[in-house]
Amino acid sequence: MASKCMQKPHAIFLPCPAQGHIMPMMHLAKILHSRGFHITFVHTEFNHLHLIRTGAIDPTVEIEGFCFEAIPDGLPQPADANALPDSTESTMSIFKHGLATLRELIRRINGDSQGGPPVSCMIRDAFMSVAQPIGDEFGIPDVAFWPMCGGSFMGFFHIDELIQRGYLFKDANCLTNGYLDTCIDWIPAMPGIRLKDLPTFIRTVDPNDIMLDFSIKVAQTLLKASAIILNTFDELDHEIIEAANHKFRLQRTYTLGPLFALCNQIPNDNLNSVKSNFWKEEMECIEWLDKIADDTVVYVNFGSLAVLTPEQMKEFAWGLANSNHPFMWFIRPDLVSGGSAILEREFLEETKGRGLIAGWCAQKQVLDHPSVGGFLTHNGWNSTLESIHSGVPMLCWPFFGDQQMNCRFACTVWGNGMEIDSDVKISERERVEGAIKELMEGEKGKEMRKNAMKWKEKARKAVEVGGPSHISFDRLVNDLLVMKR
């Protein structure tokens, strides 16, 4: 047997069990694997089986130095085999049911000479904060992965201070009486930030709210982490990350984004067959785009978690139809609350020939297509970062979590986004129609497109050899080899 000093480093990955968290962690796992790390990627039992069903994981294919494990989340199986459990419930349930299995998994790996080298570090999603003590138990570095933008990173660090300063909601009227527009002028590197831009978990009148308490603990465990990895790049978020490093005395932060682009730098990637999409990709959409003129298509996708009411679905559809622009709209099976996402026959007839409705596709491939001229998005961080890297301007319709922060920065700092204004006293369909026309035809849309192309160049340079994200990754690899708990 090889001596301990000759063994490969072994990183065990623990993502939050949601699509938008798993994907960037998979990219990180792949690029570490390309640098000689043995990888154990841990899914929940439900997600693992679901990914096998969709073909994202092929259990018959063995890849040297890269393996999957599963831990229970304790939730009942959905009646619909294609339905996904609520990601928040799944995360909270892992805290009760999955950690004992994770401990046993690490013990098994460390005691089994045939199961790969001993675990040398744990790379966990920042939202899997309850796993933080495991690093102490096994004497391995606890490396936290932050899956959002720098603004949200700073925002989460200040939730506790917001409460201490008395900014917690007094009553439900705070949602509608203008209180959300309150400017917070004391958070470093974020001038002009408002309550409405901060993580939506603060929007509660209950000081004991579960998600509020959870968010505070996420930030607290970040301060204890051996290192923090962020899926962003320096030119986009440098000032904020530096301010956070200074204020909270963070010793090791690594900006590696966009991770999907850094992952594409891997030569002869033998992990191309390993994916992390919860839904099967419909590649016919690329063939449809090939027939459409450049910069004319509005691409629409609300991500993997956002949910519309049936009325919102109807209003949005007709706003899209009335804009008279060709569009591609990805509609998940669970996009509409309380029922299936069925569109009216009149809408389908009205948009026949200029609209494509699909279930799911490789989003980055769509955004890179020359026919796509704009992206109507919920502003999840993965979607926002992919849009930046592709140089596609965004129409922003954020729902919850960190999406409001991403929207704020796209619209007021980066200049490549425009929010669909919910305060305008017209119908929802008219707001959608007007925003699409401004994006695709108006002067503001032209300016957004110029800014989007500038950020595209910066994002692509970040991951090139010698670029800041590439250099940061080299530093991470070297540090992980010597890092101690």
> What's the one-letter identity of residue 336?
V
Residue 21 is among the residues annotated as catalytic for this protein: yes
> What's the one-letter identity of residue 54?
T
Catalytic residue from among 10, 21, 38, 43: 21
- 419 forms beta bridges with 396
Residues with Cβ within 8 Å of residue 41, at least 6 apart in sequence? 13, 15, 25, 26, 29, 66, 67, 68, 69
Residue 169 near residue 204, CB atoms below 8 Å: yes
Rama region for 336: left / alpha / beta (φ>0; ψ in -120 to 50; rest): beta
* CA 73 centroid distance within chain: 21
CA distance 267 to 275: 17
Residue 76 near residue 90, CB atoms below 8 Å: no
Locate 317 and state its tokens. Answer: 């559809």
Beta strand residue intervals within 253-352, DSSP E: 253-255, 297-301, 327-330
The H-or-E segment that residue 214 falls in is helix 210-224
> What's the one-letter identity of residue 379?
N
The string of DSSP letters for 30-44 reads HHHHHTT-EEEEEEE
CA distance 418 to 397: 9
> What's the one-letter identity of residue 48?
H
Residue 246 near residue 232, CB atoms below 8 Å: no
Residue 125 is among the residues annotated as catalytic for this protein: yes
* CA 448 centroid distance within chain: 23
Burial 283-309 (b: 16+ CB within 10 A, else e): eebbebbeebeeebbbbbbbbbbbebe
Residue 254 near residue 476, CB atoms below 8 Å: yes
Catalytic residue from among 73, 125, 142, 197: 125
Residue 81: phi, psi to the nearest 5? -65, -25
Half-sphere exposure of 417 (CA within 13 A, CB side): 30
* CA 464 centroid distance within chain: 22
Only one residue has tokens 């000759």, namely 6
The H-or-E segment that residue 417 falls in is strand 417-419
CA distance 254 to 192: 26
User: Shortest CA distance to 60 belongs to which of 270, 274, 266?
Assistant: 274
Half-sphere exposure of 217 (CA within 13 A, CB side): 15
Residues belonging to the active site: 21, 125
